[in-house]
Amino acid sequence: MPLLPIVFTLLFFLRTPASSAATDTILAGQALAINDKLVSKNGRYALGFFNTSSSKPCQDTTNWYLGIWFNTVPKFTSAWVANRDTPIKNTTSPELTISHDGNLVILNRFTRSIIWSTQANITRNSTTAMLLSSGNLILTDSSNSSEVLWQSFDHPTDTVFPGAKLGWDKLTGLNRRLVSWKNLNDPSTGMYCDGLDQSGLNQFLLTPLNSSIPYWSTGVWNGKYFASIPEMSNNNPVFTSTFVTNDQEKYFIDNIVDKSMVTRGVIDVSGQRKTFIWLEGSQDWTMIYAQPKLQCDVYAICGPFTICNDNALPHCNCMEGFTITSPKDWELEDRTGGCSRNTPLDCISNKSTTHTTDKFYSVQCVELPNNASKLEAAASMSECAQVCLSNCSCTAYSFNDERCSIWHNELLNIRALECSGTSSSTGETLHLRVSAKDFHIVKNNRKEIVIGVATGAGVSALGLCALLILVKIWRNKSKSSNRILDGVQGCNRIIAFRYTDLQCATTKFTDKLGAGSFGSVFKGVLNDSTGIAVNRLDGAYQGEKQFRAEVSSIGAIQHINLVKLIGFCCEGSKRLLVYEHMPNRSLDVHLFGNKSMILNWTVRYQMALGVARGLAYLHESCRDCIIHCDIKPENILLDTLFVPKIADFGMAKLFRRDYSRVLTTIRGTVGYLAPEWITGVAITPKVDVYSYGMMLLEIISGKRNSCAPCSSGGNLDVYFPVHAAHKLLEGDVGSLVDQMLHGDVNLDEAELACKVACWCIQDNELDRPTMGHVVQILEGLVEIGMPPLPRLLEAMTGSSHSARS
């Protein structure tokens, strides 16, 4: 699909074949057994039987499937499944062969019954099956190999292969589209579909499988790219794209530029279209594209009676009075079953009454579902509530702008919004109908929380944590578990890991990701395949009780643009922090290191905005203002969607450093330090603003400020931030942007970013904007004027625009 197609990687417990046939062909009379496989001539793809294993080892409920996978990738990754909706039970011994009518079939070796067939209309029974180097399994006439009677490319599952068509055959009615898996262990038909717009527009839509209403669109093809994916117009280093429409067909194709590159495009269980590249260095798939970017944009991703929150993990949570319908499915990332009521509504369980005891509780600061019935008759909130209570199918109502809206049956697509108690919000309030029993439970729980907060029962909270720890330890001792995640979950959902567990997870701290101001960071993997980054701290010497308290306060700081703290370890003198692993590493790698994958302008601008939002949260929304003091590309990590996340925040308190006072010891990195560090005045959040401005210039230019020489009237070097300020005043922003983008830049955004950067690096901290102001500027909500030249910076670097070096 556009730019980068749609597939998904799923891990299975693959039974390694005892022997494998070194062939790519099945002839009439031959059979492929469960321990055999076909391998394409280039070795890239293999076809054979693979299995999924039950999560309960004592139950032998394995299902077998015929599929194609990436043969050169050590991490088993399915790309096509023949019998996705007809699994083969473990009691059956299947084989793949050519039947008497010429079709390729899966047979039960004992009963000889057909489990799956290509079902091609074949007039002669002399056929051959072959796995091509493209990953296409074809069935041809043995006497005429150029005549393709059937091909797997016409029947994709959740993955599109490079060179495969997605779209329609107008003559036969064949519709080549992608459909997600049901869950991580089940390749059967899932919830989401990616296919051509059935209205006739030349675009692809992501929709629920049984609906034509899209939740994301590529935009219409304009001859070069899809409107919603303008980055396709670049000289794409990965794919070349073609859209074809004629009397016979309408389809889209992506081809790989570098044939040695291994890629996969999927529509995965999450309902998102994703593209991955296999990196030999990391021995893992790296995601380079995903749409929609926000999980909650996917239709009904959390199922009924849930709230989806993009800024929290997990994204999906049940509403009050409801519990998860199928916990097993949720563990496998299939949450479409949603949540179910703890107690049936009174109007359902007691139909003989003329009134109902059902109550409403308020769900505040949410985005409401868009399928409400609007009622003009209700003049007040109480009347609106009564209208809902009078109909047993009514499950919720809202009363906004003097209008009554009610919802019937299941509630879908309720989304949590970030609301501030000090400012107006776009969030609305939903009044959810629950049984009187559940209402009182919710009410009592909230009352207890308020009382607990009001009385400041810190001792009780610590006691609760201690109780949780004791219970967890007792449970761990009473059962044998080989999971690494045997830690204790504390009050902030922060896990206390054992040191031996982290040694195991990190293979004794051998895979070093890097070293920072506070210690070395190592890559690790938990037994549930969760990737982690373990920071082994140097210099944190406080006692265990204080360390736990300070870690808990850091863990409470959560934002989509901040790296999430998962847990910690505190044993003896050992102090470690466990964070979520960022697979796309740090920003500096992509700006200054890896030139094979250039960040396009749109991605850069969104990164700049994301970092600004994260800093604004630290400065303005936390209970205590947090000054980072070391903002630079190395401390900006990128997740699978290239969402920027600030690392190493909140460490000053952990290391007993008070940056609100005048410092004699400078912390930070040369090139990003504000003048205050040198002049000796008190440190404020404006030091982060200065560092952000310096980093923003590097995002724009794609080069280090300290090693980005610019000619200015001569051949002498000029310090880039000073040069940028002059060029901005001259109106020549285009010369400042990374040349690797080949001019494919939104110059209005580039000028705005340059203005922001130059305001941020002003000499006087009072002249610099706050990070909250920066966010508003980059979002286009507030206008900004032309900044003055940072004279102190110019003088300190000994640079002048007239060519002084």
Encode 42-93 in three state secondary structure.
CCCEEEEEEEECCCCCCCCCCEEEEEEEECCCCCCCEEEECCCCCCEECCCC
Lowest model confidence (mean pLDDT) among 363-377, 538-552, 581-595: 538-552
Determine the average pLDDT of the residues in 742-755.
93
Domain pair 25-291 / 587-797, same fold: no
Cα–Cα distance, 279 to 263 (Å, whole number):
10
Name, in order, each residue with C-beta under 8 angstroms of 552's C-beta and a sequence gap of 6 or more: 490, 491, 492, 494
CATH code assigned to 25-291: 2.90.10.10
Superfamily of domain covering 587-797: Transferase(Phosphotransferase) domain 1 (1.10.510.10)
Please determine, for residue 41, whether its predicted confidence score (pLDDT) is greater than 80: yes
The percentage of residues in the chain with a pLDDT greater than 70, rounded to a whole number, is 80
Please determine, for residue 40, whether its predicted confidence score (pLDDT) is greater than 50: yes
Please determine, for residue 517, whether its predicted confidence score (pLDDT) is greater than 70: no
Domain boundaries, the chain: 25-291, 306-436, 465-580, 587-797
May I ask the CATH architecture of the domain 465-580? Answer: 2-Layer Sandwich (3.30)
| Residue 59 pLDDT | 38
Cα–Cα distance, 478 to 476 (Å, whole number):
5
Contact 719, 707 (CB under 8 A): no
Q: Where are the alpha helices (DSSP H) in 506-560?
A: 544-555
pLDDT, greater one: 665 or 558: 558
Task: Give 392-439 pLDDT, tens digit per residue.
Answer: 899 999 998 788 999 999 999 999 987 754 434 467 899 999 998 888
If you ran DSSP here, which 8-state letter would residue 740 be given?
Answer: G
Determine the average pLDDT of the residues in 147-158.
96
Task: Give 680-714 pLDDT, tens digit per residue.
Answer: 677 889 999 999 999 999 999 998 887 544 444 44
| Residue 632 pLDDT | 92
Q: How far apart are the first and last CA of the chain?
A: 50
Determine the average pLDDT of the residues in 188-205.
94
* Average per-residue pLDDT for the chain: 81
| Residue 5 pLDDT | 34
Cα–Cα distance, 135 to 169 (Å, whole number):
20
Task: Give 764-781 pLDDT, tens digit per residue.
Answer: 899 999 999 999 999 988
Among candidate residues 194, 334, 630, 688, the one labeled active-site is 630
Contact 577, 650 (CB under 8 A): no
| Residue 371 pLDDT | 82
| Residue 469 pLDDT | 42
pLDDT bracket for residue 461 (50, 70, 90): very low
Cα–Cα distance, 240 to 260 (Å, whole number):
15
Phi-psi region of 102 (alpha: psi -120 to 50; beta: other; left: phi over 0): left
| Residue 656 pLDDT | 47
Cα–Cα distance, 640 to 289 (Å, whole number):
8
Cα–Cα distance, 426 to 640 (Å, whole number):
29
Among this protein's residues, is 438 annotated catalytic?
A: no
φ and ψ at residue 592, rounded to 5 degrees: -115, -15
pLDDT, greater one: 94 or 791: 94
Please determine, for residue 590, whether its predicted confidence score (pLDDT) is greater than 80: yes
Lowest model confidence (mean pLDDT) among 86-95, 188-197, 273-282, 648-657: 648-657
If you ran DSSP here, which 8-state letter would residue 475 be given?
Answer: H
**Single pTM value for the model:** 0.57
